[in-house]
Amino acid sequence: MEEKENLITVNIDGQDLQVPPGMNMVEAAAILGKEIPHYCYHPKLTIAGNCRMCLVELGMPGRDRATGEPMVNKDGTPKIMWMPGPAIGCGTKAAPGLHIKTDSPKALESREAVTEFLLINHPLDCPICDQAGECTLQEFSSSHGRGYSRFIEQKNVKPKRTRLGPRVTLDDERCVLCSRCIRFCDEVAGDSVLGFTDRGSYSTLTCFPGKELANNYSLNTVDICPVGALTSTDFRFKMRVWFLKETNSIDFETSVGVNTVVSAREGTIYRVKPRRNDQVNDTWMPDSGRELYKQVESDDRLIQCTIDSLATSAVDAIAKASECLQGGGVAIVGSGQCSVEEQFALKAISDGIGAKGVYLVARYGKDDGILMSVDRNPNVRGALMAGLVNDLPDEQLGELGAKIDSGEVTTVFSVKEDLIAGGLTEDQVGKVKIIYLGTHENTTSSLADVLIAGLTQFEKSGTVINQQFRLQKFSRVVPGPGGAIEDLYALATIQANLSGESFPSTVGSLWKQIGTEGSVFEGISFQSLSDQGELLDGSAFEHFSFREGKSLHFEPKKEALAIE
């Protein structure tokens, strides 16, 4: 928000409102809780003003032409000169003394006319349209529509199943030509592939010749499409949106920590969509993060705890793991995929048994400068702040390999990390006793002496710390499979077995311990943590050379850049 002195007064439906200069009227009316219907306007895109749905009446205080003096009514109030025609709300910027009417008969009549025009060629196939239930055209047709059609001519027919790219399917008949998708590709994704061809009611959204909508942000066009024209090929015809229960989550793909909302019905996840957070991801998310839900029901999912490859209960597996960890010569391989709470519990275990080493496996990928950062672990900073590790992790577990070879380490407790993929040889892994807590099959899980089947991010709650040192929480979307056990519960029980004292085993109760005085987490509790997250003081880690480059709302520290 701007400084208080810079605010100017506008008048919306007779109510005075203080807004920063230049704010558009759709946003200003929203402050007063008034909705100006719109299709083409999107808060994070430039203003196109082509849907004409947000028509309002507009007036300014009049001035006498001859003298230039402000005109006044008989009672001394400024005389408002109303424009003869309506103007679009999204293209009208706040100016001192600006008056608008959002619900006057003229404004409503204008919007009804626009709605009637939009519906002329609309196929009205709501029963088969995936957008039904979250469609603004549907909503505004019921609030501003006529209820019957005066159009007796034949409707335009356009292609219904156009493949725009590997993940996006276009139904041209439903398009209202708002151009949000075109602007998104130009302005945010930086990949101009969409445009309109033909004129008038024959206008059609198409890809440029020889191009396709294949960038890693293509599904955002589906999210911002106000109607059902752009549909996700993955979600197409899978489930009606009114059945879906939505839960706030975080994209675990990279250290950006994109805020998401996950839609599920009866224990099955159907889609992942971005959630607005103006400090992290605006309203966007990468396509790759939307696929992550498929891990929940993948074929290689671990759904049974085992000891020496024999199925057992989680309770027995945890007891056996605790026994193995008491033997000494233990090294711990933690993970940047774990939540802060799990890393905290793991830290307690490693302190308790005097671990010979605590390692993390770094994952680095290509930076796209938008919402995919170099660091592909969502919570390396969490491990640093929980005190699990003291330095940035390496991509290889070379040091651990050397310790195994020298015989210093005889037991490895790995949480979510495949040791072979982490750079150990099968020979080295064969030499030591392996305790593995994970969700999916890999070489380590097949070699593990004790295997504890854990939960994916969608089946548990917790927090992660992103590249800005923003603590963000994610919540349980669906219950986990029967044979698996919550990671935090497993770690807390192991710690309780080892120490002989109780250890909080739920996220809420553990936060009472994490958020104690003196720590960087002071005053924070899981319950009170807002959905927008909370920025933590990361100054203690400023000297580390984090590899993340610039992204949407993130500027890397200058020192870190200098080191690179």
Partner 1 sequence: MPIVIKRRPLNFLEKLYLPEIARGLSTTFKKIWEKPVTLEYPEQRPTIPEGYRGVPTLVKDPEGREKCVSCQLCEFVCPPKAIRIKPGEIPENSEYAHVEKGPQEFEIDMLRCIYCGMCQEVCPEEAIWLQNQFSLSGYSREELVNNKEDLYELGGTLPDEHFKWRKKKEAAEHGSGH
Interaction site with partner 1 (CB under 8 A): 123, 126-128, 132, 154-157, 160-161, 198, 202, 236-240, 242-243
Beta strands in 384-537 (DSSP E): 411-415, 433-438, 450-453, 462-465, 470-474, 534-535
Residue number with CB closer to partner 1 (169 or 255) = 169
Residue number with CB closer to partner 1 (244 or 536) = 244
User: What's the closest the beta carbon of residue 132 comes to partner 1, in angstroms?
Assistant: 8
User: What's the closest the beta carbon of residue 173 comes to partner 1, in angstroms?
Assistant: 10
User: What's the closest the beta carbon of residue 267 comes to partner 1, in angstroms?
Assistant: 14
Question: What residues are paired with 485 via a beta bridge?
Answer: none
User: What's the closest the beta carbon of residue 297 comes to partner 1, in angstroms?
Assistant: 15
Residue number with CB closer to partner 1 (239 or 524) = 239
User: What's the closest the beta carbon of residue 240 comes to partner 1, in angstroms?
Assistant: 5
The label of the residue with tokens 């400024």 reads: 78
Residue number with CB closer to partner 1 (160 or 433) = 160
- Give the whole-angstrom CA distance, residue 55 versus residue 106: 9
DSSP letters of 404-438?
Answer: HHTTS--EEEEES--TTTTT--HHHHHHSEEEEEE
216: nearest Cα among 367, 105, 40:
367
Residue number with CB closer to partner 1 (268 or 288) = 268
Question: What residues are paired with 116 via a beta bridge?
Answer: none
The helix (run of H) or strand (run of E) holding residue 12 is strand 8-12
The label of the residue with tokens 């929480």 reads: 473
- Give the whole-angstrom CA distance, residue 80 versus residue 99: 8
Residue number with CB closer to partner 1 (104 or 203) = 203
- Give the whole-angstrom CA distance, residue 470 versus residue 67: 57
Residue number with CB closer to partner 1 (164 or 185) = 164
- Give the whole-angstrom CA distance, residue 20 versus residue 279: 20
- Give the whole-angstrom CA distance, residue 555 versus residue 287: 23
The helix (run of H) or strand (run of E) holding residue 402 is helix 398-405
Residue number with CB closer to partner 1 (145 or 422) = 145
Helical pair 487-499 and 340-353, crossing angle rounded to 10 deg: 20
User: What's the closest the beta carbon of residue 228 comes to partner 1, in angstroms?
Assistant: 11
Residue number with CB closer to partner 1 (264 or 514) = 264
Residue number with CB closer to partner 1 (204 or 551) = 204
Residue number with CB closer to partner 1 (127 or 147) = 127
207: nearest Cα among 187, 230, 224, 225:
230
DSSP letters of 110-172?
Answer: HHHHHHHHHHHS----GGG-TTTTS-HHHHHHHHH--SS----SPPP---S-EE-SSSEEE-G
Residue number with CB closer to partner 1 (243 or 364) = 243
What string of H, E and C letters represents the secondary structure of 213-237?
Answer: CCCCCCHHHHHHCCCCCEEECCCCC
User: What's the closest the beta carbon of residue 475 comes to partner 1, in angstroms?
Assistant: 25
Let me know if 308 is exposed, middle or buried by CB neighbors in 10 A (0-12, 13-18, 19+).
exposed
User: What's the closest the beta carbon of residue 131 comes to partner 1, in angstroms?
Assistant: 13
Q: Are 541 and 381 in contact (CB under 8 A)?
A: yes
Q: How many helices (H) and strands (E) does the chain have?
A: 15, 24
User: What's the closest the beta carbon of residue 122 comes to partner 1, in angstroms?
Assistant: 13
User: What's the closest the beta carbon of residue 319 comes to partner 1, in angstroms?
Assistant: 40
User: What's the closest the beta carbon of residue 152 comes to partner 1, in angstroms?
Assistant: 14
Residue number with CB closer to partner 1 (79 or 155) = 155
User: What's the closest the beta carbon of residue 187 comes to partner 1, in angstroms?
Assistant: 31
User: What's the closest the beta carbon of residue 245 comes to partner 1, in angstroms?
Assistant: 14
User: What's the closest the beta carbon of residue 242 comes to partner 1, in angstroms?
Assistant: 6
**DSSP H helical ranges for 226-339:** 287-290, 314-325
User: What's the closest the beta carbon of residue 86 comes to partner 1, in angstroms?
Assistant: 31
Residue number with CB closer to partner 1 (128 or 402) = 128
User: What's 187's DSSP letter?
Assistant: I
Do the strands 8-12 and 15-19 form a parallel or antiparallel pair, or are they unpaired?
Answer: antiparallel
Residue number with CB closer to partner 1 (127 or 500) = 127
- Give the whole-angstrom CA distance, residue 403 versus residue 431: 11
Exposure string of 113-127, with b = 16+ CB inside 10 Å and e = fewer, is: ebbbebbebbbeebe
